[in-house]
Amino acid sequence: MRILITGAAGMVGRKLVARLLQDRQLAGRTIAAIDLHDIVAPETPQADGISVRAFTGDLAAAGASEALIADRPDMIFHLAGVVSGEAETNFDLGYRVNLDGSRTLFDAIRLANYKPRVVFTSSIAVFGAPFPEVIPDEFHPTPMTSYGTQKLMAEALLSDYTRRGFFDGVGIRLPTICVRPGKPNKAASGFFSSIIREPLHGQEAVLPVPRSVVHTHASPRSAVGFLIRAAGIDGALVGPRRNLTMPGVGVTVGEQIEALERVAGSAVTKLIREVPDAATWAIVQNWPTRFEARRARELGFTAEQSFDEIIRAHIEDELGG
């Protein structure tokens, strides 16, 4: 099996590559090759018997997608995207990468006339306030960011291209992935991770929103698990509604901090400083809160059961336990 991963230099992309090289198989088939693509050069980890190639460039540029599809990858993970904060400040870039990049890739697959599985990472940002207390699978997406709009449009394409038989797509709406390792990115959701990550490193972290904010999270480990499940699932089980809201842990920011205190103690949580930020709040207040995610759970997508578990996963995976 040949695998293509766009956005491979991103956090989730790198973890997915590591997992695939460790598993050496996907969806019951042996992995022969992995092609990685990103706007910056992705690392190319070595693995005996698996060819790993890197491609660098703008996915929406003429010919870029065609080059990636030339070797007809059996499995395509389309993770590439400009994050929410950046898509909001840079209108043109967001539409170019998140909408045109996806469409160009999907069209290259369509025109290559074979029928690979395409796994697309959408986002809960497709939803916009007001919400019921728990958002059901059949709730309408009314995004309140350009990022969410672009993800919704790519979801619609994914469904239509699947219905027409151009490829076999599965869209997974990721909750906020937390705890993100490494440096903050430009996502407006960055603070959800930094209030856990920085204090665990003995550093101060800023909380820009009220503790009452409710949000749904899953660990990077769960995000990779979602991708692996989406790659292996029988398309007939998914049916015509190809975009699935993933499960996660719905908690208030206050509950996140309580979990951190349980796991790491109050000396750690004391490093969180509350500094309200109007710009972040303006975005976050329209974000969805809790999800039912019934279809995804029934289809075998699993996440953590508590925020304590999410913190422990971070400590195990990033801080050597």
Q: Of the listed pieces 52-60, 65-73, 134-142, 290-298, which binds a second copy according to CB under 8 A?
A: 134-142
Which residues sit opposite 26 in a β-bridge?
A: 29
For residue 183, state whether it binds a second copy (rule: CB under 8 A). Answer: no
CB count within 10 Å of CB 209 equals 20
**Which of 189, 60, 182, 168 is closest to 123 using CA atoms?**
189
Residues 150-179 that bind a second copy (CB under 8 A): 152-153, 156-157, 159-160, 163-164
Q: Is 147 a catalytic residue?
A: yes
Cβ within 8 Å of residue 2, ≥6 positions away? 32, 33, 34, 35, 71, 72, 73, 74, 75
**Which of 104, 233, 98 is closest to 170 using CA atoms?**
233
Q: Of the listed pieces 18-26, 39-47, 143-151, 263-271, which binds a second copy according to CB under 8 A?
A: 143-151
For residue 13, state whether it binds a second copy (rule: CB under 8 A). Answer: no
Site string for a second copy, 224-263 (x = CB under 8 A): ----------------xx----------------------
Per DSSP, the three-state class of 46 is coil
Q: How far is the CB of 85 from a second copy (least distance, A)?
A: 15
For residue 114, state whether it binds a second copy (rule: CB under 8 A). Answer: no
Q: Of the listed pieces 47-55, 132-140, 202-210, 306-314, which binds a second copy according to CB under 8 A?
A: 132-140
**Which of 28, 7, 298 is closest to 137 using CA atoms?**
298
**Which of 5, 320, 283 is closest to 125 using CA atoms?**
283
Residues annotated as catalytic are 147
Residues at the interface with a second copy (CB under 8 A): 91, 128, 137-144, 146, 149, 152-153, 156-157, 159-160, 163-164, 240-241
